[in-house]
Amino acid sequence: MLERKTLSNDLVKLIPMIKNDYEWVFAAASDPEIWAQHPDTTRYTPVGFTRYFQKLIDTDIPYLILDAKTEQVIGATSFYQYDRHEKSVAIGYTFLGKKYWGGEYNQSIKNLMMDFAFEKLDKVIFHVASENIRSQIALGKIGAIKEKEEEDENGKVKFTYSIYKNNS
């Protein structure tokens, strides 16, 4: 398992999340446009967000994403599905406030997390819904390769992307 610790660079600080961080994360997540391409488009509402937050907090290492300059919460992400035999972990449940879209923030966050994961593991996995074009484009920008396409229990198609340590 990866160590629960703060990760940071010039742009962002990732702080391991606790249940008491609910209000901070909800404040950053309460814009409907953030969730427009996600399978659950109600995550900006108290009920939808509570479902998302519970899944996030139950992951292996959930993180608050803070802007390094302002110390404000700008999103959340996590490591999940750690597999010691495969030497892999997934990165996901990620969102960023709109102000931080399309620039260097997402790539900076993913690089920070991948660098940390690749200290001990060989593979990082990303799951993304077929309708989430923004995330698919962002994964392409960081060099992720689409490896699998499958339907979930609700019949929705999701893709699995991967990056390998020797290709990062």
Q: Is residue 148 part of a domain?
A: no
pLDDT, greater one: 106 or 123: 123
The per-residue pLDDT for 166 is: 84
Q: Is residue 111 part of a domain?
A: yes
What's the structural domain count of the chain? 1
Instruction: Quote the domain boundaries for residue 24.
Output: 7-121
- Give the number of other Cβ atoms within 10 Å of residue 57's Cβ: 17
Stated length of the chain: 168
Instruction: Say if residue 55's pLDDT is above 80.
Output: yes
The per-residue pLDDT for 109 is: 95
pLDDT, greater one: 151 or 39: 151
Locate 116 and state its tokens: 């940390």
Integer Rg of the chain from CA: 15
- For position 60, which CATH number holds? 3.40.630.30
Kindly write down the DSSP assignment for every residue of 131-167, as one continuous string. Answer: T-HHHHHHHHHTT-EEEEEEE-TTS-EEEEEEEEGGG
Give the residue from 81, 109, 111, 115 showing the smallest Cα distance to 95. Answer: 109
Instruction: Say if residue 167's pLDDT is above 80.
Output: no
Q: Is residue 37 part of a domain?
A: yes
Q: Is residue 108 part of a domain?
A: yes
Q: Is residue 167 part of a domain?
A: no
Q: Is residue 162 part of a domain?
A: no
Q: Is residue 157 part of a domain?
A: no
Q: Is residue 60 part of a domain?
A: yes
The per-residue pLDDT for 156 is: 84
